[in-house]
């Protein structure tokens, strides 16, 4: 058997490596990716291993690289990804790498720190600038107000109220309850702190603080001030329109300038406390307009200076990052390789003389040559003189399962592995799945148009394979589609074929060869009858449409479904039974390969008999019915006499006497059918006890014999061969614990019951082929009549416009529902048919996958982990 | 039996060629067996699928029931004249 039909033969090998050459050799093996190392010190914890320091250093390097990567991404600098994979550097190069990364990291951190300090400075200055600018307005207003106050006192109560209203536009006003406001209005200016004093002009020295606060904190801040100071402060605020950058995390924040007027030291401390509590920054703000102007000038010049310095810092940072971005991916690969090598070295044992490392590994037998070559290369590179030694070891352990796949078979193997990794050297269903999977899918999805859309999509992905594979995305759905591109393509192609057989293209039929039904009506008949049924006797040409369904059925609106159901149900059962028989035959390959004679004779043969005698017989009945019964025949083989296969089958299994046939018809299709059926059922029933008891009984007997003569090797072989699936290499060893006899009986009975009941339910389960295919065809037809035909019925130029819109809608629904959703559902049903109905006949799936030490896989996983 | 000789022979020969002829001609290589397996399964599935459809229509037990306008439409476009009278 060639590749993929069974997993590779594996060997457990012992590998002796010179300490100096170990690193280089492991690096070569990592490039090769064909060796799975076993942990030889599983009880030693990770911190006590030999190369733990090196691993830690690599971790540290990786951390630094990740930091660099983060910074690079923050600045949006493109990272050069050549896709090439540099060789793992020599151990001594590690120091250089470390030094480089250390330098880069320090430099970057310093730059970042400086930039942050500068930015904070910048922020403070901008805030101050805004304060000076905004407070100017406040002070101006206040000056006006004072004037107004004076006027108000002269003008009397009404004017005063107006003045109050003007000054209290701020939100403070909103916080005073209505009563308070009306009270305030009646009491005049007394309400506001500084105004109270304004009556005594000589004492009027209001203190104030100015600052900046986050805008969303402002309302709470204002309320707090009002309550804590019992309304004896006055707050004015103004928004800073442009958002400011927060130096710590680079976010844009909105802030507001505020200025608080109050009186007295007690209030001052209180206000300052509240400001502190709300994280408001206070800035000195001189009272005199001239000072303020001077300060503003100073601030402006300092801001300009800072801007130049900041720009230079940013430039420097950019330069450093651009330089790092060129090499970053390369460095990542290198560091990950070093780390992987030391990780692997940690799995090794140290020889007593401390001069050589001992490793144990699983290798595929076919690749031992390549591995030895790689080891020799590694030795040469390290300059060591002693060649490494690769020894095969005897083992009783189950080797890992390794299926060598290529880009085409990989996806199909993944479908199988998703159910369970094959036991070692078990028949692998993947090569058969390559065809049966798309085919069964297509039986459900059969439509030339929809199949063509799917096939074209698959073909496009296959053609653009390289480009699409290079642009890695973490879009999971896309990755699934892309990974299954060959499956999608084949599913599409097979759907096109089944679509042609069903004669369905977007729910319409093609009439290529000309219908084989004739009409011989005259006009009056057509006019008189609403429905006309063609007679299978006179209007049928005698031979069917050569390829696929006759197009006349597509237009036969009223009994098309009846005809299709009969046909599709039959093909579902026919293909289902053949698929299951195929599965049982696969188990024959397993039994012969593992020299499991007991299972071959007492399991495989009765299983096959059971399936053939009952279900394959039913399939034969279908063919007989197709051949023997025709409308053109005389009774008892005319259309009126055709028996129902299902009823016949049920009667057969239950030993019922069939219902008497209509006049001139016969109950049975052929001579001696009753006898044949009874015989078949009895034989099939007879198979059940054989499946149930024969194998455990024989094992029991063999064990008794073995107990009498404990040396008998031959019988123990047969015995353990029956119980376990140990292959010719590893099977039947002393490591296997003998199963309890009762357990064997229980297992066997479960297995038998599962098989017998399963073959009934599995056969019925294949009817999903009919159901899904019917649903698909109906849905396509509904979409045509309900959507597209509306557009087709419009007339004139306006009809063209409507048709365009309707077509767009129809196309979207076709792709979205019929191709995508129906496709997905058909896919899942096909998957189930393979996993349950097919594989349950032969597949154990109890192995574990071969996970070779491979740099490619490690680097791929590493980058995926980072992107998450 | 309502089978025509030519179509049966043609499609059987076609899929026979795919399922038997092509596997014989498959070039030697690591994937020879896999390709053979694929070809044979394809041929078997497709041939049987075609055969089932053919046989299901071979001896029809019912005839298609057509609506009046469909009958008229078929008479016009499928070259089946509806006789006057």
Three-state secondary structure readout of A833-847: HHHHHHHHHCCCCCC
Give CA torsion, residues A491, A492, A494, A496, to 10 deg. Answer: 160
Planar angle of CA A246, A251, A255, nearest 5 degrees: 60
When pLDDT is cut at 50, 70 and 90, the band that residue A455 belongs to is very high
Instruction: Please report residues of A whose CB lies closer than 8 A to that of B68.
Output: 526-527, 529-532
When pLDDT is cut at 50, 70 and 90, the band that residue A169 belongs to is very low
Instruction: Please report residues of B whose CB lies closer than 8 A to that of A578.
Output: 48
Which of A57-71, A330-344, A426-440 has maximum average pLDDT?
A: A426-440
For residues A676 and A652, give the distance between their C-alpha atoms in angstroms, rounded to a whole number: 10
- Please provide the distance, in angstroms rounded to a whole number, between the alpha carbons at the two ends of chain A: 42
For residues A465 and A603, give the distance between their C-alpha atoms in angstroms, rounded to a whole number: 46
Average pLDDT over residues A161-184: 42
Residues 6+ apart with CB under 8 A from A868: A474
Q: Name A11's bridge partners.
A: A363
SS3 content of chain A, % helix, strand, coil (to 5): 65, 10, 25
Residue position matching structure tokens 């007679």: A535
Q: From start to end of A198-319, where are the E strands?
A: 207-214, 234-239, 244-245, 252-253, 255-262, 281-283
Residue B6 pLDDT exceeds 50? yes
* Assigned domain for B85 exists: no
Average pLDDT over residues B35-45: 95
For residues A16 and A376, give the distance between their C-alpha atoms in angstroms, rounded to a whole number: 12
Nearest Cα to A502, choosing from A765, A778, A786?
Answer: A778
At A174 the pLDDT is 43
Dump pLDDT digits (tens) for A786-806: 999 888 888 888 888 999 999
Instruction: Please report residues of A whose CB lies closer than 8 A to that of B23.
Output: none
Which residues 259-288 in chain A show a CB within 8 A of chain B? none
For residues B26 and A435, give the distance between their C-alpha atoms in angstroms, rounded to a whole number: 17
* Assigned domain for B83 exists: no
Residues 6+ apart with CB under 8 A from A19: A354, A355, A356, A357
Residue A665 pLDDT exceeds 90? no
Considering only the beta carbons, identify the residue of A2, A439, A527 that sits closest to B32.
A2
Dump pLDDT digits (tens) for A192-212: 434 444 444 444 456 788 888
Residue A642: closest C-alpha in chain B: B61
Residue A152 pLDDT exceeds 80? no
A789 touches chain B (CB under 8 A): no
At A178 the pLDDT is 44
- A570 and B84 within 8 Å at the Cβ level: the answer is no
The total of structural domains in chain B comes to: 1
When pLDDT is cut at 50, 70 and 90, the band that residue A709 belongs to is low
Residue of A534, A544, A644 to mutate when probing chain B, most B C-beta within 10 A: A544
At A156 the pLDDT is 45
Residue A622: closest C-alpha in chain B: B56
CA-based nearest distance A459→chain B, Å? 19
Nearest Cα to A644, choosing from A581, A698, A565?
Answer: A565
A520 touches chain B (CB under 8 A): yes
- B31 and A2 within 8 Å at the Cβ level: the answer is yes
Task: List b or e across A340-365, with b for residues whose CB sees 16 or more CB atoms inside 10 angstroms.
Answer: bbbbbbbbbeeeeeeebbebbbbbbe
Considering only the beta carbons, identify the residue of A517, A555, A626 that sits closest to B56.
A626
For residues A95 and A88, give the distance between their C-alpha atoms in angstroms, rounded to a whole number: 14
Which residues 30-49 in chain B show a CB within 8 A of chain A? 30-34, 37-38, 41-42, 45-46, 48-49
- B58 and A543 within 8 Å at the Cβ level: the answer is yes
For residues A649 and A465, give the distance between their C-alpha atoms in angstroms, rounded to a whole number: 51
Average pLDDT over residues A586-603: 91
Residue A213 pLDDT exceeds 90? no
Residue B48: closest C-alpha in chain A: A575
A409 touches chain B (CB under 8 A): yes
- B80 and A432 within 8 Å at the Cβ level: the answer is no
The two three-digit tokens of residue A667, written as one number: 């109950």
Antiparallel, parallel or unpaired: β A356-364 and A36-37: antiparallel
Which helix (DSSP H) or strand (DSSP E) does residue A390 occupy? strand A389-393
Average pLDDT over residues A576-603: 93
Which helix (DSSP H) or strand (DSSP E) does residue A506 occupy? none
B21 touches chain A (CB under 8 A): no
Residues 6+ apart with CB under 8 A from A57: A94, A98
Planar angle of CA A695, A699, A705, nearest 5 degrees: 145
Average pLDDT over residues A721-733: 41
Burial class (CB in 10 A: 0-12, 13-18, 19+), A154: exposed
CA-based nearest distance A629→chain B, Å? 7
- B61 and A642 within 8 Å at the Cβ level: the answer is yes
Please check whether residue A590 is in contact with residue A427, taking contact to mean a CB–CB distance below 8 angstroms: yes
At B21 the pLDDT is 93
Question: For residue A198, how many other CB atoms are within 10 A of its CB?
Answer: 18
Tell me the residue range of the domain where B24 lies. 5-77
Residue of B31, B39, B55, B60 to mutate when probing chain A, most A C-beta within 10 A: B60
At A822 the pLDDT is 94
Q: Name A234's bridge partners.
A: A261
At A203 the pLDDT is 45
Average pLDDT over residues A563-589: 95
At A148 the pLDDT is 57
At A717 the pLDDT is 44
For residues A822 and A802, give the distance between their C-alpha atoms in angstroms, rounded to a whole number: 27
Which residues 469-498 in chain A show a CB within 8 A of chain B? 497-498
At B68 the pLDDT is 86
Which range is least confidently modeled, A139-153, A312-326, A641-655?
Answer: A139-153
- A521 and B83 within 8 Å at the Cβ level: the answer is yes
Task: List b or e across A170-184, with b for residues whose CB sees 16 or more CB atoms inside 10 angstroms.
Answer: bebeebbeeeebeeb
Residue of B56, B72, B73 to mutate when probing chain A, most A C-beta within 10 A: B56
Per DSSP, A615 falls in state I
When pLDDT is cut at 50, 70 and 90, the band that residue A167 belongs to is very low
Average pLDDT over residues A819-832: 95
* Assigned domain for B24 exists: yes
Which range is least confidently modeled, A164-173, A468-477, A623-632?
Answer: A164-173
Give CA torsion, residues A672, A674, A675, A680, to 10 deg. Answer: 120
B9 touches chain A (CB under 8 A): no
The two three-digit tokens of residue B73, written as one number: 């439409």
Residue position matching structure tokens 């002796």: A16
Residue A366 pLDDT exceeds 60? yes
A768 in helix, strand or coil? Answer: helix
B71 touches chain A (CB under 8 A): yes
Cα–Cα distances in angstroms (integers) from residue A828 to residues A439, A530, A708, A772, A832, in the given order: 14, 43, 54, 11, 6
Residue A624: closest C-alpha in chain B: B55
For residues A531 and A533, give the distance between their C-alpha atoms in angstroms, rounded to a whole number: 7
At A153 the pLDDT is 52
Residue B38 pLDDT exceeds 90? yes
Considering only the beta carbons, identify the residue of B41, B57, B83 that sits closest to A544.
B57
Mean pLDDT for all residues in chain A: 84
* Assigned domain for B17 exists: yes
CA-based nearest distance B49→chain A, Å? 8
At A149 the pLDDT is 54
The two three-digit tokens of residue A110, written as one number: 């310093």
Rg (CA), chain B: 21
For residues B22 and B35, give the distance between their C-alpha atoms in angstroms, rounded to a whole number: 9
- B50 and A547 within 8 Å at the Cβ level: the answer is yes
A535 touches chain B (CB under 8 A): yes
- A532 and B56 within 8 Å at the Cβ level: the answer is no
CA atoms within 13 A on the CB side of A571: 32
Question: For residue A279, how many other CB atoms are within 10 A of its CB?
Answer: 10
Average pLDDT over residues A440-463: 95
Which range is least confidently modeled, A21-25, A107-111, A471-475, B81-85?
Answer: B81-85
Residue A731 pLDDT exceeds 50? no
* Assigned domain for B21 exists: yes
Average pLDDT over residues A621-631: 91
For residues A149 and A155, give the distance between their C-alpha atoms in angstroms, rounded to a whole number: 9
Residue A588 pLDDT exceeds 90? yes
Nearest Cα to B44, choosing from B70, B72, B8, B18?
Answer: B18
* Assigned domain for B82 exists: no
For residues A532 and B67, give the distance between their C-alpha atoms in angstroms, rounded to a whole number: 6
For residues A569 and A763, give the distance between their C-alpha atoms in angstroms, rounded to a whole number: 11
ipTM for the complex? 0.96
Which range is least confidently modeled, A244-258, A671-685, A845-859?
Answer: A244-258
């Amino acid at each position: 058997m060639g590749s993929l039909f069974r997993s590779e033969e594996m060997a457990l090998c012992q590998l002796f490596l010179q300490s100096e050459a170990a690193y280089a050799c492991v690096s070569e093996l990592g490039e090769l990716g064909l060796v799975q190392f076993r942990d030889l010190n599983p009880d030693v914890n990770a911190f006590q291993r030999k190369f733990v320091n090196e691993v830690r250093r690599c971790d540290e390097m990786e951390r630094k690289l990740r930091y660099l990567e983060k910074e690079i991404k923050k600045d949006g600098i493109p990272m050069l990804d050549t896709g090439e994979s540099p060789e793992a550097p020599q151990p001594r190069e590690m120091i250089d790498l470390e030094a480089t990364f250390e330098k880069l990291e320090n430099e970057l951190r310093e730059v970042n720190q400086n930039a942050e300090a500068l930015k904070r400075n910048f922020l403070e200055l901008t805030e101050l600038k805004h304060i000076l600018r905004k407070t100017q307005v406040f002070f101006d207003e206040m000056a006006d107000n004072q004037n107004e106050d004076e006027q108000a006192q002269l003008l009397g109560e009404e004017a005063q109220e107006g003045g109050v209203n003007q000054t209290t536009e701020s939100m403070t006003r909103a916080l005073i309850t209505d009563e308070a406001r009306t009270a305030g209005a009646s009491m005049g200016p007394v309400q506001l702190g500084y105004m109270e004093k304004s009556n005594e002009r000589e004492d009027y020295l209001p203190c104030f603080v100015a600052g900046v606060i986050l805008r969303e904190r402002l309302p709470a801040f204002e309320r707090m001030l009002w309550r804590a100071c019992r309304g004896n402060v006055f707050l004015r605020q103004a928004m800073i329109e442009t958002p400011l950058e927060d130096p710590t995390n680079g976010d844009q924040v909105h802030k507001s300038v505020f200025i608080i007027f109050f009186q007295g030291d007690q209030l001052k401390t209180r206000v300052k406390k509240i400001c502190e509590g709300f994280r408001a920054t206070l800035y000195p703000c001189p009272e005199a307009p001239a000072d303020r102007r001077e300060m503003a000038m100073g601030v402006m010049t300092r801001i300009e200076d800072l801007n130049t310095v900041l720009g230079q810092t940013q430039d420097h940072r950019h330069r450093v990052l651009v330089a790092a971005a060129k090499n970053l991916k390369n460095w990542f690969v290198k560091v990950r390789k070093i780390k992987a090598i030391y990780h692997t070295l940690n799995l090794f044992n140290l020889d007593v003389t401390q001069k050589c490392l001992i490793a144990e590994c699983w290798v595929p037998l076919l690749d031992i040559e390549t591995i030895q070559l790689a080891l020799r290369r590694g030795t040469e590179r390290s300059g060591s003189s002693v060649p490494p030694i690769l020894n095969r070891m005897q083992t009783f352990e189950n080797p890992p399962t390794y299926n060598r796949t290529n880009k085409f078979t990989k996806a199909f193997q993944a479908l199988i592995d998703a159910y369970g990794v094959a036991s070692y050297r078990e028949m692998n269903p993947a090569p058969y799945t390559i065809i049966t999977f798309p085919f069964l899918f297509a039986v459900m999805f059969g439509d030339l148009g929809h199949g063509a859309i799917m096939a074209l999509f698959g073909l496009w992905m296959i053609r653009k394979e390289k480009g699409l594979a290079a642009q890695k995305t973490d879009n999971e759905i896309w990755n699934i589609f892309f990974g299954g591109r060959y499956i999608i393509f084949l599913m599409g192609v097979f759907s096109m074929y089944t679509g042609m057989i069903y004669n369905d293209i977007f729910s319409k039929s093609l009439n290529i060869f000309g219908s084989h039904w004739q009409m011989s009506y005259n006009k009056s008949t057509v006019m008189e009858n609403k429905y006309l049924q063609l007679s299978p006797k006179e209007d049928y040409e005698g031979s069917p449409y050569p390829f696929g369904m006759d197009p006349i059925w597509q237009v036969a609106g009223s009994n098309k479904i009846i005809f299709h159901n009969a046909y599709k149900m039959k093909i579902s059962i026919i293909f289902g039974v053949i698929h299951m028989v195929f599965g049982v035959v696969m188990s024959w390959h397993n039994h012969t390969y593992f020299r499991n004679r007991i299972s071959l004779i007492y399991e495989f043969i009765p299983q096959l008999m059971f399936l053939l005698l009952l279900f394959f017989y039913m399939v034969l009945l279908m063919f007989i019915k197709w051949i023997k019964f025709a409308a053109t025949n005389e009774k008892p083989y005319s259309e009126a006499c055709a028996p129902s296969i299902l009823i016949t089958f049920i009667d057969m299994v239950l030993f019922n006497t069939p219902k008497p046939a209509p006049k001139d018809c016969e109950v049975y299709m052929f001579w001696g059918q009753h006898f044949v059926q009874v015989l078949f059922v009895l034989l099939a029933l007879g198979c059940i006890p054989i499946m149930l008891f024969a194998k455990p009984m024989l094992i029991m007997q063999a064990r008794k014999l073995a107990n009498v003569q404990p040396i008998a090797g031959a019988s123990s072989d047969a015995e353990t061969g029956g119980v376990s699936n140990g292959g010719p290499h590893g099977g039947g060893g002393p490591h296997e614990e003998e199963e309890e006899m009762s357990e064997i009986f229980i297992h066997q009975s479960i297995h038998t019951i599962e098989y017998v009941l399963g073959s009934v339910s599995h056969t019925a389960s294949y009817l999903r082929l009919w159901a899904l295919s019917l649903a698909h065809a109906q849905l396509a037809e509904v979409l045509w009549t309900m959507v597209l035909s509306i557009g087709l019925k419009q007339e004139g130029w306006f009809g063209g416009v409507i048709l365009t819109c309707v077509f767009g809608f129809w196309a979207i629904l076709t792709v979205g529902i019929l191709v995508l959703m129906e496709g997905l559902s058909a896919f899942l049903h096909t998957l189930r048919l393979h996993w349950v109905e097919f594989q349950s006949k032969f597949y154990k799936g109890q192995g574990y996958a071969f996970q070779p030490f491979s740099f490619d896989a490690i680097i791929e996983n590493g980058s995926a982990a980072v992107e998450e | 039996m309502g089978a025509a000789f030519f179509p049966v022979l043609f499609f059987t020969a076609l899929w026979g060629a795919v399922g038997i002829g092509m596997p014989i001609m498959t070039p030697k290589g690591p994937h020879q067996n896999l390709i053979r397996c694929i070809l044979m399964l394809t041929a078997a599935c497709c041939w049987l699928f075609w055969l089932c459809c053919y046989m299901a229509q071979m001896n029809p037990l019912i005839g298609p029931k057509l609506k009046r306008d469909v009958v008229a439409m078929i008479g016009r476009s499928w070259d089946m004249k509806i006789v006057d009278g």
